[in-house]
């Protein structure tokens, strides 16, 4: 079991409130991602769950039991950090086995668990190598293996892919997601990268300034952001935010239109409501082309168009937002 419940949890460092009162339910077996900009409190919240920081007030329950004052080692959780923290003089086998050695587990049981973890993580061929002989992705898998053998109630990942290059990050996203499907164990994952959040999570928790702005599945947050902050943070490229007369003409003080929900035409559409724009930078990525356009009376608009569209710097085009996909916000920035 690996359900985790936060009840009015707060954390202050002196006069600074880093985590305001937070309530959150994490179900057994869920993959939950904490996401938000730097300084939003996501890593602090993870450390509170792990027991590496003491809560200022509130309660943390693990599997229905109050774990607020239980030491980290007795919470039944395993943490994987941004740094691999491997022992350079030890083999992969010995690194993975280390927490079991410290717990004085029987050697036959250690061997079984290490071999099982190595197989799941595709490390069997590297089991006798040292960390210096491995790639960054392989070293991160060793760190995950060291967590797996403890058979924790939940895994806590603190930006584990930040030290990897773009290609390795993509591969490791897939590997961690596959690992979750295999183990069916609760995972809480901290990242500032909303692409990681969208592609990995069952449930996303969006944080800002120590509060939860919204909780939901990736598609829920994409389709129904509750405010401007979430609307701009979720989605890549980010949502276009439009104010003034152009927004009011579409029914709100502020509207948001995602780049993929804008149709582009070289000729003026017969229907009213299209914006005339001039193409600035065009980013051709093969399957997609991202157009950065200056729209008259609207401002800078980013558009996700077909990869084979033939528009160049300085060309004129007409932009038509899909009316059914427009997000409307009131004067306070809340979804209307």
Q: At residue 293, does pLDDT exceed 80?
A: yes
The residue whose two tokens read 């600035």 is 280
| Mean of pLDDT values over 86-97 | 94
Whether cis (ω within 30° of 0) applies to the bond prior to 28 is no
Confidence at residue 5, expressed as pLDDT on a 0 to 100 scale: 98
CB of 176 closer than 8 Å to CB of 141: no
Both tokens assigned to 258? 């995602």
Domain ranges of the chain: 4-232, 238-329
Q: In the predicted model, what is the mean pLDDT of residues 69-90?
A: 91
Give me 308's structure tokens.
């084979």
Residue-level pLDDT at 164: 80
Predicted pLDDT at 162: 84
Q: How far apart are CA 49 and CA 72, in angstroms?
A: 9
- What's the pLDDT at 270? 73
The pair of structure tokens assigned to 65 is 């039991």
- Rounded mean pLDDT, 244-258: 94
170, pLDDT greater than 90: no
Is residue 70's pLDDT more than 90? yes
Dump strand ranges (E) for the chain.
4-13, 16-26, 31-35, 57-62, 65-66, 77-80, 154-158, 186-191, 203-208, 211-216, 240-243, 254-257, 262-265, 275-284, 288-295, 299-306, 316-321, 327-329
- The SS3 of residue 257 is strand
Give CATH for domain 4-232.
3.40.50.300
pLDDT of 172 above 90: no
- Describe the crossing of helices 92-102 and 136-148 by its angle, rounded to 10 degrees: 30
Q: In this structure, is the dihedral angle defined by the CA atoms of residues 226, 231, 235 and 240, taken in order, positive or negative? A: positive
> Does the pLDDT at position 118 exceed 80?
yes
Q: Is the pLDDT of residue 136 over 90?
A: no
Whether 84 shows a pLDDT value over 90: the answer reads no
pLDDT confidence tier of residue 146, bands split at 50, 70 and 90: very high
Gap between the Cα atoms of 28 and 199, Å rounded: 20
Q: Which pLDDT score is estimated for 82?
A: 80
Q: Tell me yes or no: is domain 238-329 CATH 3.40.50.150.
A: no
Taking all residues of the chain, what is their mean pLDDT, rounded to a whole number? 94
For the chain, helix (H) and strand (E) counts, in that order, are 9, 18
Start-to-end CA span in the chain (Å): 39
pLDDT tier at 163, thresholds 50, 70, 90: confident
Query: What does the alpha-carbon distance between residue 276 and residue 315 come to, in Å, rounded to a whole number?
Result: 11
Angle between helices 166-183 and 107-120 (to 10 degrees): 120
Is pLDDT of 239 > 80? yes
Does 169 have pLDDT greater than 90? no
Q: Confidence class of residue 205 from pLDDT cuts 50, 70 and 90?
A: very high
**Across-strand partners of 263?**
320
The domains spanning 4-232 and 238-329 adopt the same CATH topology:
no
Residue 272 reports pLDDT greater than 80:
no
Residue 3: exposed, middle, or buried by beta-carbon count in 10 A (0-12, 13-18, 19+)? middle
3-state DSSP assignment of residue 159: coil
Mean pLDDT value across residues 275-286: 93
Can you give the pTM of this predicted structure? 0.90
pLDDT-derived band of residue 269, with 50, 70 and 90 as boundaries?
A: confident
**3-class secondary structure, 316:** strand
């Amino acid at each position: 079991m690996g359900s985790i419940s936060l009840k009015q949890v707060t954390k202050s460092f002196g006069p600074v409130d880093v985590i305001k009162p937070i309530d959150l339910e994490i179900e057994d077996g869920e993959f939950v991602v904490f996401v938000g900009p730097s300084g939003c409190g996501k890593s602090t919240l993870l450390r509170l769950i792990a027991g590496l920081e003491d809560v200022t007030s509130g309660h943390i329950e693990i599997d229905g039991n109050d774990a607020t004052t239980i030491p980290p080692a007795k919470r039944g959780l395993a943490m994987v950090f941004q740094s691999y923290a491997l022992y350079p003089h030890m083999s992969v086998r010995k690194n993975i086995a280390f927490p079991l050695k410290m717990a004085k587990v029987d050697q036959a049981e250690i061997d079984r668990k290490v071999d099982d973890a190595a197989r799941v993580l595709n490390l069997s061929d590297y089991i006798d190598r040292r960390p210096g002989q491995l790639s960054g992705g392989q070293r991160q898998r060793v760190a995950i293996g060291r967590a797996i053998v403890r058979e924790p109630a939940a895994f806590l990942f603190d930006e584990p892919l930040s030290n990897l290059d773009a290609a390795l990050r993509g591969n490791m996203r897939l590997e961690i997601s596959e690992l979750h499907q295999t183990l069916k164990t609760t995972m809480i994952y901290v990242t500032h990268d909303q692409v990681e959040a969208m592609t990995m999570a069952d449930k996303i928790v969006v944080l800002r300034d120590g509060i939860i702005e919204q909780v939901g599945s990736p598609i829920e947050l994409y389709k129904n952001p509750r405010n401007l902050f979430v609307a701009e943070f979720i989605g890549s490229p980010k949502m276009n935010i439009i104010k003034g007369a152009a927004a009011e003409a579409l029914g709100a003080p502020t509207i948001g239109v995602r780049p993929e929900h804008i149709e582009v035409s070289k000729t003026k559409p017969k229907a009213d409501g299209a914006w005339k724009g001039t193409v600035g930078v065009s980013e051709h990525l093969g399957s997609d082309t991202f157009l950065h356009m200056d729209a008259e009376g609207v401002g800078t608009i980013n558009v996700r168009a077909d990869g084979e569209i033939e528009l160049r710097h300085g060309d004129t085009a007409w932009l038509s937002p899909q009316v059914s996909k427009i997000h409307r916000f009131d004067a306070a920035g809340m979804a209307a």
